[in-house]
Structure 1
């Protein structure tokens, strides 16, 4: 993944469109082992009752299933309506395994690849629109969450296939409640070859964390967009 507030995952707000809520700002939390993390409420051996019998059950199977549906889809651009529906069904089942207060989970920190958005043009704004994609080919959409309260979003692209560029944002996290976070971003910065400029103004995004583990994080934007983040 003009500044615009994004709807759900925290990539490029406003003109870039990833909205999210603020992540927690735990200062003394350390990363826990997988066994300890399970004590937070995730049971790898548990299973769920799903409406679609084709869905794999259990968190590990559901994580594998959702990743298989969204990777290499250009953030969801290549998926059809029915395929987006399948992703939403898996996400709905997977959120049943979410820890009780995900904003306090230390696993939120790290580097994430924004592999999917139910509104595929949301992360990246105009650069990802149907018109923008005629000129800009997205190479990567990354979000880095640093303790205690920093978020860095970057969309890397190629202009007309030969000139590399990127748009980046830096923001401050704020916890709204046990699930929702808010990020206030500074004005975006555009780099195109050796040229660099900062433009626009501040923007705000909100995101609800609906699931998180060592591999992925799911987010639901304030406007209903579903995001899938894959840990790098």
Structure 2
């Protein structure tokens, strides 16, 4: 694969105690119906009187709330956005903070629609707001040295029906020279969650100059969650991506 810059696309339960039945008669001789049961159980008082008084004792159901960590999808999405925004797409986060984002994404994955690659929600303009590996989106422009020279302004992915993907990274070089790297690719569906995008050689523009460089490249991405505002993806090497739909 070429090394040219690219980026991928409270429930409650009840515990009911079994009702106990106590049968009373005039004599005080208690005989357990089921002697193997311990504690309060079913008893019958035997005697000459054949009339029996039946009484049942029911215990109230106990309500057990689910874990407070179970939150709605919109709450989980809001938490992810709050952790990744204004972090230079994850660059400034600590290892512990990256793990927190991964944990939230794992919870949100449970709410993913079936066959997300077939959802029309994938189409549109998306901002890349986070990646667990800083160099996955943008390649060398996002390495430690690259970030010293190139300040990333925008990182956008456009998915057009039926199968076109356009990636663009805009930057300013040395603080005064504007430029961008753009790629156009073809989206190929691999299964219900995985896609592959084969990109043409990237095009670099700096000021009024523009030229292509490098060769073709391809990426594979699993769509693990999608809604009208958020898309989560995991690359073939395990990198986590967070996309936010543009206004």
**What TM-score do the two structures reach when normalised by structure 1?**
0.79
- Structure richer in helix, relative to its length: 1
- In structure 2, stretches of 5+ residues that fail to align are 13-65
1:140 maps to what in 2? 154
Q: Distance in 2 between matches of 1:181 and 1:226?
A: 15
1:123 maps to what in 2? 137
2:5 maps to what in 1? 16
1:90 maps to what in 2? 104
**Residues 173, 181 of structure 1: 8 Å contact kept:** yes
Q: Residue 100 of structure 1 aligns to a residue in which SS? A: coil
* 1:138-187 deviations in Å (ceiling 9; x for gaps): 00100000000000000000000000000000000110000000000000
Change (3 A) 1:155 1:56: farther
Instruction: Please tell me the root mean square deviation across aligned C-alpha atoms, in Å.
Output: 1.8
Q: Distance in 1 between matches of 2:6 and 2:208?
A: 25
Number of matched pairs? 193
Does residue 71 (structure 1) correspond to residue 85 (structure 2)? The answer is yes
**What TM-score do the two structures reach when normalised by structure 2?**
0.75
- Structure richer in strand, relative to its length: 2
**Out of 99, 112, 126, which is 2:126 matched to?**
112
**Residues 7, 167 of structure 2: 8 Å contact kept:** no
Residue 56 of structure 1, CA deviation? 6.7
- In structure 1, stretches of 5+ residues that fail to align are 5-13, 21-44
Q: Residue 170 of structure 1 aligns to a residue in which SS? A: strand
List structure 1 runs of 4+ shifted beyond 3 angstroms: none
**Structure with more relative contact order (C-alpha pairs < 8 Å, separation 6 or more):** 1
Select the structure of larger CA radius of gyration.
2
1:81 maps to what in 2? 95
Q: Distance in 2 between matches of 1:17 and 1:147?
A: 20
**Residues 185, 199 of structure 2: 8 Å contact kept:** yes
